[in-house]
């Protein structure tokens, strides 16, 4: 069977008018002789409203009941899509996770799909039906509803594509695809036609909101090509695929920036084995995500200065965790808000020398001071003053020829 999996995000099904448009898109694939499996998110805003209700009921709302509650949003959207397709003369019905079933493992609120029973959906496809499957949910071995965490409907689509050996997996959203940088920050941002899983993972983890990192990792591990495109504009989107499928003469594929980072510096830490672990252990216990880490050893080898970045919303928790930590000694503790991490990303960097120099020289030419540096195989990140973010993005976008039409 020639199967296509179509996933529609919350903004794509955010109103009755939009759901009618979604039904037209689905019908278009049916006319092209595809067997269509649809995954839908809840209508935009619905999940947040349901979570708000749970807080009003209890400040310690049951996690298993949380999953029952929030999964109901997808049920509504799926029924409306199926209803519209039936109105248009197609055979369609909604499917909830327990009706298939989609089996998950892991904890409530953050489970992972382990298995999908193909029997009922395959039979329905062969009968000419269009199944509309609720994303973001599954059932565990106790037959309780579970949810898949942020980006869960994308994960549903990717795993459905895997288990049904779909030819295509298309994520429909409110943007035209993945851009070289945030188009809201830089008007010269260009849509990327093809991007590797690794590049997309870096961009997603650094703030690109098109897809969640865990969903991209699922696609990468299962070698599922994903196309991201707009529900509202008829244009080709961005293909996310394996490196070997990409013919690309671009050294840098994209540039990302963060908005809400803060810098933490411990000055004059007594240097001894295990000191870094002593600093970061309580942060880990408090679920504080530490990003860029730089350590400088003093000339006498007895002290070290340690700098790292965190999200600004974790600043007070971090301050408290360090100040209450009796296992470390330091002379001074510094905190700085108003910093931004700028990252250039591209698999072409692996085989191209001089990218680091070009990045640093470009920023120097614009009188932008670099505070912290971190690198990986396909990424260079620097920490700068937040007020220089737009200037840095614009200069680097031009330097690496991302302004040029593709």
Domains of the chain and any CATH numbers: 3-174 (3.40.1160.10)
Q: What average pLDDT does the structure give for the chain? A: 92
Strand order across the beta sheet in which 112-116 lies: 112-116, 102-105, 137-139, 145-147
Cα separation of 11 and 23, whole Å? 14
Burial classification of residue 230, based on how many CB atoms lie within 10 Å of its CB (0-12 exposed, 13-18 middle, 19 or more buried): middle
Tell me: pLDDT of 299 over 70: no
Q: What digits encode the pLDDT tens for the residues 42-64? A: 999 999 999 999 999 999 999 99
Query: Which residue is associated with the tokens 């195989």?
Result: 377
Tell me: pLDDT of 260 over 90: no
Instruction: Look at 349 and 145; give whichever has higher pLDDT.
Output: 145
Q: What digits encode the pLDDT tens for the residues 171-223? A: 999 889 999 998 888 889 899 999 999 999 888 877 667 788 888 998 999 89
Tell me: pLDDT of 406 over 60: no
Could you tell me the pLDDT band of residue 259, with boundaries at 50, 70 and 90? Answer: confident
Q: What digits encode the pLDDT tens for the residues 361-395? A: 999 999 999 999 988 889 999 999 999 999 999 99
């Amino acid at each position: 069977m020639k199967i296509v999996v179509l996933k529609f995000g919350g903004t794509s099904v955010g109103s009755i008018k939009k759901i009618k448009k979604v039904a037209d898109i689905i019908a278009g694939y049916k006319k092209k002789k595809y067997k269509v499996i649809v995954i839908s998110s809840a209508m935009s805003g619905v999940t947040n409203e349901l979570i708000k209700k749970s807080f009003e009921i209890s400040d310690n709302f049951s996690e298993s009941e949380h999953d029952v509650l929030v999964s109901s949003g997808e049920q509504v959207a799926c029924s409306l899509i199926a209803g519209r397709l039936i109105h248009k003369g197609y055979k369609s019905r909604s499917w909830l996770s327990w009706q298939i079933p989609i089996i998950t493992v892991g904890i409530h609120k953050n489970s992972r799909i382990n298995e999908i029973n193909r029997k009922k959906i395959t039979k329905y496809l062969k009968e000419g039906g269009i199944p509309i499957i609720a994303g973001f949910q599954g059932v565990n071995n106790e037959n309780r509803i579970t949810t898949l965490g942020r980006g869960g409907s994308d994960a549903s689509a990717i795993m459905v594509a895997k288990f049904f050996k779909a030819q295509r997996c298309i994520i429909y959203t409110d943007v035209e695809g993945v851009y070289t940088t945030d188009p809201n920050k830089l008007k010269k941002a260009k849509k990327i036609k093809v991007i590797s899983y690794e590049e997309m993972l870096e961009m997603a983890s650094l703030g690109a909101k098109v897809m969640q990192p865990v969903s991209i990792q699922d696609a990468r591990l299962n070698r599922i090509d994903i196309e991201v495109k707009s529900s509202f504009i008829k244009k080709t989107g961005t293909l996310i695929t394996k490196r070997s499928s990409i013919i690309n003469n671009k050294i840098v594929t994209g540039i990302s920036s963060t908005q809400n980072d803060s810098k933490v510096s411990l000055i004059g830490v007594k240097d001894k084995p295990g000191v870094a672990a002593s600093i970061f252990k309580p942060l880990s216990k408090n679920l504080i995500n530490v990003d860029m880490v730089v350590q400088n050893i003093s000339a006498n080898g007895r002290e070290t200065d340690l700098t790292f970045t965190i999200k600004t919303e974790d600043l007070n928790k971090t301050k408290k965790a360090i100040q209450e930590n009796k296992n470390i000694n330091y002379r001074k503790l510094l905190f700085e808000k108003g910093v931004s991490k700028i990252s250039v990303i591209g698999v072409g960097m692996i085989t191209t020398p001089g990218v680091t120099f070009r990045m640093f020289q470009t920023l120097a030419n614009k009188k932008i001071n670099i505070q912290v540096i971190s690198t990986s195989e396909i990424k260079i990140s620097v920490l700068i003053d937040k007020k220089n973010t737009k200037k840095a993005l614009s200069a680097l976008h031009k330097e690496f020829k991302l302004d040029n039409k593709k």
